[in-house]
Each structure stands twice: as structure tokens, then as C-alpha cells.
Amino acid sequence: MIKNYLKIAWRNLLRNKAHTFINIAGLSIGLACSLLIMLWVQNELSVDAFHKNKSRLYNVYERRYFDHKISGQFRTPGVLADEMKKVLPQVEYAVNATYYEQGTFKAGDKILKLDGAAAGDDFFKMFSYPLLQGTVKAALNSPLSLAISRKMARDFFGSPEAAIGKTIRYENKKDLKITAVFDDVPANASNKFEYVMNWYAFLEENPSSKDWNNNGPYTSIMLRADADPALFEKKITHFLDNYNKSQKKGTFTVELAIQRHDQEYLHGTFEDGKLSAGRIEYVNLFSIVAVFILLIACINFMNLTTARSVKRAREIGVRKVVGAVRSVLIKQFIGESLFVTTLAVAISLILLVLLLPLFNQVTQKQIALPFDQTGFWLKLISLTLITGLVSGSYPALFLSSFNPVTVLKGTLKLEAGTTLFRKGLVVFQFVLSVVLVTATIVVARQMNFIQSRNLGYDRENLIFIPVDGELSSQYDLFKQEALKMPGIQAVSVSGARPTQITSGTVGVDWAGKDPDLRIRFNQSAVGYDYISTLKLKMAAGRDFSKDFPTDTAGYIINETALKRIGYTNPIGKSLTLWDNKGTIIGVVKDFHFDSMHEQINPLIIWLGKNGTYGNLLIRTEPGKTKQALASLETLCKQINPAFPFNYYFSDEEYQKLYRSEQIVGKLANAFAFLAIFISCLGLLGLAMFTAEQRVKEIGIRKVLGASVGSLFNLLSSEFLVLVFIALVIASPIAWYAMNKWLQGFAYHTSIELWMIALSGGMIILIALATVSFQAAKTALINPVKSLRSE
């Protein structure tokens, strides 16, 4: 019997090739899209979930109350971990750590600049980064200890075995001993590093991290197995009260809280000092999109199968006459649905293999096809069964309900409820399509808004060079020689890049300040010609100048800082930063030194000195960047031969601030296109169904003199009505969803009526083009053929 059903299913597929192609194409594309999103979601959920003790690993974060606001951050004092381990019995292990530290290493003739970390000696006891050489106990037990990755060991020494025990030159200042080699950090780790150096060596080079009033490093702890995380969090709420002496109840208070380490990646956004969301919003969003796209594909299957119902009505009538019961017919049609779904799944796997490299490129992931995992195949089988049952259930129930007497007489009529249900499915499809297209337009407009907004400085033709080695002490020589080179307009230096001025302090005082007021100011050390190199605009006063020796005690503030300070005529007025008394020499117009997710904060710029700088800022002449880079590389190798030449473009660094949004925009474009494409297949299915039902009516109308144009309008108008209904339903949904997304930006565009109108217009035109072919084909049928009874 099963063999017979398969034969019938196969013959039906071959007999209706166009119908079969549309049906399987829509289903396979929907399945491939859903599988891609499923793999991406699994990858996102797996980040930091590989640690053996993940249920006991927590990150400590601060909740800060000041300036009538509540904020949150994962940055903490660099001495917090040791103190928590010392005084809190619930803590088994604790480390302070800082990631994405760049270090330059030399062994033999090879010099490499690598991303790394500095961490306490409990690091490898807490986190599951397997050691290939060395022991956990000795890995970071000395200020001269260094743990390196398998890749770094290969690059310098050929193998992990050859690297252990060797010395390697760090920053051309000291020799470190390789005490451990760990396996390469997995792709699903949130923090990437090629080496880990001892924490106390880091503190020697960064003494400010020893201050309880300063924040920068991360603090991670591993609770004992019997510790209650909720009770522990309550216990540490006011832990800093005895250490941070700048606290003053009611004006500036810092509380501590904890979050599971494996949850920070997806839940790392603060709202009013509390962890709210983060990337998990995108995970949830695309999970819903995956379900909806698959649902759209299933709806297509229903409509396309039902569209062919008239062709199979007599087959069903004959089967019922010869004794087939409804339950047997339902099983047959469900079986046919599962057969088609299985074919679609096979094709979707081929599409998956072809599309995954491009998908990885867009999402900047390293997702591999898990064909070797049993769980993947079990999920795929489950997906096949669910899709087959969902897409085949309605056609099975519908087709098996035909009355044999009615269908064999050729007088099959469908109930109004049946038609209404099918049209409702098409409306649902186009509601989703309109929402996705609107989302695409809004995301694109916001990205364009970000790109075209005046940042307050010119990010074009601006290059950053890290201050390494001799570039710090020889900066004056570097600047003097660089300005002689062709293609270079200006040179300056700063502690932070203009896209990453994140360092902040409340240690600011001025004349007339309320002693109970605590305001957080961002701050950065800069060199001479900083204002002109960035092409910042001055609202008052001037830039730092060597003509004024007192500028070493001078400050430049931005307009937002001036508003908070409250000076009417600020030039020459007193200002104190970290007990360093000085005067305001200039007010720079507000510029964006963080992403547009954040408001422009008060900023203080001060004249630094050697050791306080991290980046050289080079302004090149338009069209001469390549020539300038070649000259700069030669100069750096002359002054700083022990370090590789590295540079970064300001516009590229700015783009990195919106990497997630750019990925979302690209995915939204792709999903909107797929949703429209699959929905139009569904509309084509309904057009085919209507044509089947009204073929004799059209024949009669033509005999009575109806023109082809009037018949075309008759057939296409009802489909356009469905699209208009979808547009009405989708408009408020799209507006609400995208308005909520835009609220995540402190500076954003607005949703305007034309955006929804444009998406609706696009959908209407595409829908009209879809039904036009079938409507025209039906209107042109010879009435002699359409009115023939046999």
C-alpha cells in the first residue's frame, strides 16, 4: 500500500511539473533559510558555554548611583579579585583580567604584534582553556610567566613542545618565560587572546589599576559548589563601601552585583544600572523570523496543493466509491506531503552547503555544518516531520472531505469559510513581508544617518598608529620628520582614539561646585595640534600651544561639560582634575567620541606627556594616503625597528562601532527578499486556485462579450485587495517594532509615513506582477475549451 501511495505521489509530481517546481522551491528555500538561522542561533547560544564550571563562574559588575542617574558597567578596580577571594569564603577562585591587550613579541628574527590578556594566577583553574604544555599551578605564578596559544607557539617555535620553557622578548623591554601552552581559544569564546601574562606584571605597568577609585579591568569569580549565588550577590552589594573612599551616600554610591559568565555575551546591556538585554534581542528576533519564513513556506504548500484540488477531485471521488475511507485518504495526503518535504529538505541541505560560506562572511562567524553530530540529524528529522505535518494537514483534511457524488457530477463548490481561510493565510504572509521590508528600509536609513551625520571631526584621511616602543620617547622627532613627508597634513598624539574615549572620572572640581555633586567626565590626554589634526571646531578659547608654557596645567572642555560646570565665561576659570589644579583655555564644540547609542558626555582634554599616549594621529592629504603610509612605514622602522608597523583608518574604526547593526541590516535585506519571494509563490498558488474555480465563468463572460482587459481586472483585483488589507494590518506593527529598535540609539532618524508607503508600494507592484501572468493566461483561454463538459 505504501509503495502504491509513493507511486501515485511521484506520478502527480511529474504530471504537474510547474506546480511541483514552485512547491518544492518555496519549501526548500524556506527550510534552508530556517536552517541557517538555526545554526546561527545555536552558535550565539554556545558562546562561553564550553567552560566546565560555567554554572559557578560569574562576572562582577558595578551599579553606580550619581548625578541623579543609575548606570552599570563590568569595569572594576584591578585589586578587587584578590580582596574578594581573601575576605569572602564563598569565593573559591577569583581573577582580575583585561582582554584585547596588544603586545609585541620577538624570538629570534621573528617579531609579531598579537592580541592577548593579563590575568591572575587562578585564570586557568577557573576557565576551560586546556593546557597542552605546563601545569595550571605554574602557568601564571610569576611576574615573568607567560602562557601562549598553540598558534603562537607554532609561529615562533614550530610546536608547543618546543616553546615550553623558552624565553621571549616582550615590548623590547623584558624577557618572559613561557610556562604554559594552551589550546587555541575556541571560536565561540567571547574573549579572544593569543597569550596571557601575569596580572602583577600588568599592575606594575598600570599602577592606576591598583586604585580603588579607578575602574578598567574585569573581575571574574568562581563560587564554591555549596554557595548560593542570590545570597552572595546580596552580601557583596555594599562591598566597596570600605574601600572606595570617594563614595558619599546620597551623591555617589557604587554597588556590586554578579552575572553568570556565559550570559554576558547575550545579556550585556545595562538599563538604569540593571542588566536588561543585549544580543539576545537579535537572537530572539531572528528565531521568530526563522519560524515565520518556514510558516510562510508551509502556507504556500497548503495554497499550492489546494490550487490543484479540482484536478484531483475525481480521483478522490473514485477512491471513495471503491471503498476508501477518509482516514486512509488523510494518511495518503499526509504521506505525499512528507514525501515532498523530504525532497525539499534534501535540496535545502544542498543550498545550505552553498550559502554557508557567504552567510559566515556576512555574520562574521565561523559556523561549520554539524553533519557529524547526531543531534543535528535528529533536529532535521523533527523539522521534516513537523513541516510535513503542518503543511500537509490542511490539504489532507480539505481533499479528503470531498463528497464523491458531488465531485463525480463535476459540480464541486467550495464553502465560503474555506476560501476565507486560504485568503487569510495569504494576508498573513504579506503582513510579514511588509514588516520585513519596512524594517529593511528603517535599518538602511539609520545606517545612512550614522554615516552622514556630522561627528564634529573629520574622520576621512585620518590614520591611527599605536605608540609602541621608541615612538613614545621619540615622538617629537617622529612628528618633525613626518611633517616633512609628502602627503601628510598634520600630526598629533592622544591617549585614546577619537572613537574610543571611554575613560571616565568623577574626580573633577571647579569654583562654586556643590560638594555633594558627582558628575562623570570622560577624559583623554592629547598632544599639541590635536584640535587642528582632527579638524575640531572651537566654541571659545584656543588649542594647546608651545607658546604658552602654562598650558601644561590647562584644560579644554566640550560644550556639554561647560553646561554641567555652569561657567558663563569659562576661559581662564579654574578646573581641577584628579587634584591637578589648572585653568580652562578652550571650549571645543561637541563631537561624537563614542557610538551613537550613547549621548555625548562631558569631556575634558588635557595636555599629556610621554607615557600617557596610546595613538599617533596622522592627517593625510586626499588621494595621497598610500604614498603617506609608505613614508610612515619607513620612518617607523628607522625610529622603532624592534616593532612592526601597524596602522588603522579612522573611518574603519568608526564602522566597527556599528558592526552588529550592519549585520542585522544585511540579514534583514536577505530575509525580506526571501519572504517576498516565498509569499509571491503563495499568491501565485491562490491565483491558480481561483483560475481553476472560475474557468467556466470566464468562458461564459467571454461568450457574452467581456473583453480580455475587463477579465484581467476581475481576476487580479481580489488579490490586490488582500495585499491592501495586509498593508493596513502591518503598518502599525512595523512602526511599533522599528520605533522600539531606534530607541536603542541616542541619535537616530525617525520613522516617516513614506517608508511604510514605499514598502507597501513595492509589495503591491510585486504582487501585481505575480498574479498578472496567471490572470492573463486565464483571460486568454478559448471559451470553447473552458466550456467543454468532457
pLDDT at residue 190 tops 50: yes
> ∠453-455-460 over CA atoms, to 5°?
95
pLDDT at residue 2 tops 70: no
Which one has a higher pLDDT value, 265 or 664? Answer: 265
The pLDDT value recorded for residue 177 is 94
Q: Which of 25-39, 347-361, 406-420 has the lowest mean pLDDT?
A: 406-420
Closest by Cα among 61, 24, 325, 81 to 209: 81
User: DSSP letter at 239?
Assistant: G
pLDDT confidence band for 777 (50 / 70 / 90)? low
Summarize pLDDT for 276-296 with one digit per residue, the tens: 777 787 788 788 888 878 887
Summarize pLDDT for 571-582 with one digit per residue, the tens: 989 999 888 899
pLDDT confidence band for 298 (50 / 70 / 90)? confident
The full DSSP string for 22-69 is HHHHHHHHHHHHHHHHHHHHHHHHTTTTT-TTGGGEEEEEEEEEETTE
Q: Which of 317-326, 405-414, 492-501, 607-616 has the lowest mean pLDDT?
A: 405-414
Residue showing cell 562582577? 60
Average pLDDT, the chain: 82
The answer to whether 218 and 22 are in contact (CB under 8 A) is: no
The pLDDT value recorded for residue 182 is 95
The pLDDT value recorded for residue 790 is 46
Summarize pLDDT for 366-414 with one digit per residue, the tens: 888 888 888 888 888 888 888 777 766 766 666 666 566 555 555 555 5
Q: Rounded mean pLDDT of 707-719?
A: 69
pTM: 0.78
Q: Using DSSP, state whether 390 is helix, strand or coil.
A: helix
The pLDDT value recorded for residue 313 is 60
Residue showing cell 586557568? 124
- Count CB atoms within 10 A of the CB of residue 638: 13
Among the ranges 25-34, 662-671, 678-687, which has the highest mean pLDDT value? 25-34
Q: How crowded is the C-beta side of 18, counted as CA atoms within 13 Å?
A: 7
Q: Rounded mean pLDDT of 100-120?
A: 89
The pLDDT value recorded for residue 685 is 66
Which one has a higher pLDDT value, 320 or 440? Answer: 440
pLDDT confidence band for 691 (50 / 70 / 90)? low
Percent of the chain with pLDDT over 90: 23
- Output the 3-class SS for 571-590: CCCEEEECCEEEEEEEEECC
pLDDT at residue 545 tops 60: yes
pLDDT confidence band for 308 (50 / 70 / 90)? low
> ∠727-728-731 over CA atoms, to 5°?
75
Spatial distance between the Cα atoms of 337 and 330, rounded to a whole number of angstroms: 10
Contacts of 203 (CB under 8 A, 6+ apart): 78, 209, 210
Spatial distance between the Cα atoms of 614 and 145, rounded to a whole number of angstroms: 25
Taking each helix axis as running N to C, give the angle between helix 708-742 and helix 416-452, from 0 to 180 degrees, rounded to the nearest 10. 50
The pLDDT value recorded for residue 262 is 92
The answer to whether 430 and 719 are in contact (CB under 8 A) is: no
In the beta sheet, which residues pair with residue 271?
A: 274
Element of type H or E holding 292: helix 280-307
- 478: its cell numbers: 617622529
Q: Which of 111-125, 386-400, 562-576 has the lowest mean pLDDT?
A: 386-400
Q: How crowded is the C-beta side of 651, counted as CA atoms within 13 Å?
A: 10
Spatial distance between the Cα atoms of 35 and 29, rounded to a whole number of angstroms: 10
Q: Using DSSP, state whether 630 is helix, strand or coil.
A: helix
pLDDT confidence band for 334 (50 / 70 / 90)? confident
Summarize pLDDT for 149-188 with one digit per residue, the tens: 999 999 999 999 999 999 999 988 889 999 999 999 998 8
pLDDT confidence band for 232 (50 / 70 / 90)? very high
> ∠27-28-34 over CA atoms, to 5°?
90
pLDDT at residue 31 tops 60: yes
pLDDT at residue 778 tops 70: no
pLDDT confidence band for 120 (50 / 70 / 90)? very high
Region label for 278, one of left (φ > 0), alpha (ψ between -120 and 50) or beta (otherwise): left
Percent of the chain with pLDDT over 70: 83
Find how far residue 643's CA is from the centre of its chain. 34
